[in-house]
Structure 1
Amino acid sequence: MTQFTGKGSLIASVLAAIGASLCCVGPLVLLALGISGSWIGSLTAMEPYRPFFIGLTLLFLGLAFRKLYLKPLACPAGTACADPHTTTRQRRIFWIVTGLLLGLLVVPWFAPLFY
């Protein structure tokens, strides 16, 4: 039987951060691909939901942090989760994902500088 190790919270927070930055990252990606036009400025349908997605992102990151640091798993000896390298790798991935997600969350504040 496998135990939850924070991986689900990281995946959920990635999806929530993508939803939170969709209103601004979408037009920026289109511009980077060379697609332009005045209609790009109207791609803000997801903007009203941005605070909700930001809250979800921070909630799921908090849950993943709690699982990795505050409530470590009690694993039987000889299993993969008992290996300290596994925990170190999970924590390293957590911080990489957290940095990327926080970068996605601040894109809307810097996106107007690019278009």
Structure 2
Amino acid sequence: MSSSPAKSPLTAILGASLAAIGASVCCVLPLVLVLLGISGAWIANLTALDAWRPWFSAATLACLGWAYWSLYGPSSRCRADGECVDPSVLRRRRRWLWIATVVIALLLLFPYYIPWFL
């Protein structure tokens, strides 16, 4: 059995992470900048990105769906040419996908749960 991957979800996970950051930049970035001691009137301009949040959220969910399909779909274990993934590698990739999903969910839901803390 070969240990080379049948499909790598890395591109999908990175795309989902970047889209989640884009979806939460209107809310997370100003808070992080203020916590770092960086302030200014220009920080208020970051809220203009709030209109893009639904698009970034949709891109995040699409990329996560792609990552889950590549790791749990019918061709996740073996390719058409017969080359298969080592089960321990597949298990490790699935674990990292679930960890990334939790972090991405926290970023996507940030605008909804942060008022509880403020």
If the TM-score is normalised by the length of the shorter chain, which range does it land in? 0.7 to 0.9
Percent identity reads 43
27, 31, 36: which one aligns with 2:30: 27
Q: Which amino acid aligns with 1:107?
A: F
70, 78, 94: which one aligns with 1:74: 78
Say yes or no: does 1:92 pair with 2:95.
yes
Q: Which residue of 1 aligns with 2:114?
A: 111
What are structure 1's unaligned runs of at least 5 residues? none
What RMSD in Å do the two structures reach over aligned CA positions?
Answer: 2.3
Shift of 1:82: 2.4
Q: Which amino acid aligns with 1:74?
A: C
Q: Which amino acid aligns with 1:66?
A: W
Query: Going by fraction, where is helix more abundant, 1 or 2?
Result: 1
String of CA shifts for 1:81-115, please: whole Å, max 9, x gaps. 62111001000000000000000001112334555
Assess, with a 3 A threshold, how the Cα gap between structure 1 residues 2 and 74 changes in structure 2: closer, same or farther. closer
Q: Which amino acid aligns with 2:98?
A: W
Asked whether the equivalents of residues 25 and 111 of structure 1 are also in contact (C-alpha less than 8 Å), the reply is no
What are structure 2's unaligned runs of at least 5 residues? none
Give the TM-score of the pair, scaled to structure 1.
0.83
C-alpha distance in structure 2 between counterparts of 1:53 and 1:9, whole Å = 14
Asked whether the equivalents of residues 28 and 111 of structure 1 are also in contact (C-alpha less than 8 Å), the reply is no
- SS of the residue corresponding to residue 52 of structure 1 reads helix
Give the TM-score of the pair, scaled to structure 2.
0.81
12, 33, 38: which one aligns with 1:9: 12
Assess, with a 3 A threshold, how the Cα gap between structure 1 residues 40 and 112 changes in structure 2: closer, same or farther. farther
C-alpha distance in structure 1 between counterparts of 2:5 and 2:113, whole Å = 41
C-alpha distance in structure 2 between counterparts of 1:70 and 1:112, whole Å = 38
